[in-house]
Amino acid sequence: MFDLPSLSELLTLLPVILISLTFHEFAHGWAAYRLGDNTARNQGRLTLNPLAHIDPVGFLMMILFHFGWAKPVPVNPYNLRADPARGMLLVSLAGPSANFVLALVASLLLGIGGFQLVPYADYVYYILYLTMQINVILAIFNLIPVPPLDGSKILAGLLPGQSQFIYGMETYGTIILMILLFTGVLGKVLWPLVSFVVNIFLMISKLI
């Protein structure tokens, strides 16, 4: 079972999730563009407009379960200047990396503490903390090596000899993730990692 967020929680979650998912997908498109593939740019995905990236089901999952997905950015690996497997590894790493950067920025702002001088300081603190937490969740979730998540493409780049097998799991990847989610296995693995990384960012914030 899960608890539905209250209206006030929802109004806080929505902008944070939108920003987090948008930067994640934009980073994929930007990395692919820098490596020579214009597919995302030609399809209007090289943008920070959230409407271009949001997948309704993935967005709802993010609100309810604190992990979800956006519309995958289209990438043609054969347009990349790098070897296709290595290129896709770099493109796939860009999304989680963007989320870790956002989490770091939020933790640094928490450490600076300037938000205490503005109205509704407690609310601003909560927004920053939530930004840090959700971006850590999004980054770690996407690093799971199960298609269609980024982790599977990263693993395929690291193990090029197994890439055909890994990509062949694409048909069953979503089913596997749903089974892991609803049996609680995913949470037992994910949440300890999230807590560990969030604590690292909180330690960083205290060093400021």
> Choosing from 25, 35, 131, 136, which is the catalytic residue?
25
Q: What is the dihedral of CA 104, 89, 58, 184, to 10 degrees?
A: -80
Active site residue 9: no
CA 207 remoteness from chain centre: 26
Q: What is the dihedral of CA 49, 51, 2, 181, to 10 degrees?
A: -90
Q: Which two tokens stand for residue 39?
A: 């597919």
Tell how many helices (H) and how many strands (E) occur in the chain. Answer: 9, 0
Residue type at 151 in one-letter notation: G
* Burial bucket for residue 58 (CB in 10 Å: 0-12, 13-18, 19+): middle
**Active site members:** 25
